Structure 1
């Protein structure tokens, strides 16, 4: 498996992966046009042989020192093989390279993010800007997602 930055040619595959898994209720669906707008935010996991896309993750900058890890999904046959962990590590390295001091994620799997040093915080500690995305979620306004933060310094 290889982690690399997404390319325009990956967008339809990313959209398909996010769309299929948004029905599970763990992801906010993203319109195709939004993915083209944010292609530079995405990294993808691809199989070594054949280069088939097996996972994706986005790192979005929210403020001068704050970023978000979002849209993390791995295709079911490739789960529990370290793909998601590799994508989170890649996002954290990229955030550090850009000088980010903090990263957050809204997740239904806090134990996964605990492994990387994220701690649970109150959602009210997050900037209001993120709630625009939350309004697209099928669970809004009854969100069960857990806000988690990691200090990168």
Structure 2
């Protein structure tokens, strides 16, 4: 069995990340990310690598004081059911807690997955307006159909 290696994303990973995200975006399961967005947020992301191939990605984007978004989460269809997505999210949460993040949120089309990790669904108006700054560039703005979910840090 080939081990899965989790590491910080680096610039040469962008094309592989873009392909992963693009595949899900084409199926309507996540929002697309441009290469430009991926390059700009590369330091936010970790990847899962198996046999030299990127099979998963996820990002932690600090939005404001003690709040961060879990985003750009995708796992290669050939690598599903290996708990790669949950491992990525758990690692992002651990990294966020080291920074002092108290609230994690996501906007998703996969609420069951995030519920299994302790996130709960909330109305979008429960999230601070600061999170919407990037939404202005989204083709779905202002009619976002993603589901807002949060996870509060347990003290």
Alignment TM-score > 0.5, same fold:
yes
Moved more, 17-26 or 129-138: 129-138
Structure 2 segments unaligned to the other structure (5+ residues): none
- Equivalents in 1 of 2:146, 2:153: separation in Å? 22
- For the aligned residue pairs, the C-alpha RMSD in angstroms reads 1.5
Whether contact under 8 Å (2:64, 2:130) holds in the other structure is: no
Residues 85-133 of structure 1: CA deviation (Å, up to 9, x unaligned): 1101111111111110010011112121112211111101112233343
**What's the secondary structure of 1:9's corresponding residue?**
helix
Residue of structure 1 in register with 2:8 after alignment: 5
CA shift, 1:136, in A, is: 4.5
Aligned to 2:134: 133
Secondary structure of the corresponding residue to residue 71 of structure 2: strand
Residues 1:27 and 1:137: Cα distance change in structure 2 (over 3 Å): farther
- State the distance in 1 between where 2:71 and 2:26 align: 16
Partner of 1:113: 114
- Partners of 1:142 and 1:115 in 2: CA distance: 27
Which protein, 1 or 2, shows the higher relative CO under an 8 Å CA cutoff with sep ≥ 6?
Answer: 1
Scaled by the length of structure 1, what TM-score is found? 0.90
Question: Is the partner of 2:107 in helix, strand or coil?
Answer: strand
Say if 1:29 and 1:137, in contact at 8 Å, map to a contact too: no
Contact kept, 8 Å, 2:121 with 2:150, in 1: the verdict is yes
TM-score, structure 2 length as denominator? 0.89
Displacement of 1:138: 4.8
Counterpart in the other structure of 2:100: 99
- For 1:26 and 1:138, locate their aligned partners in 2 and report how far apart those are by CA, in whole Å: 15
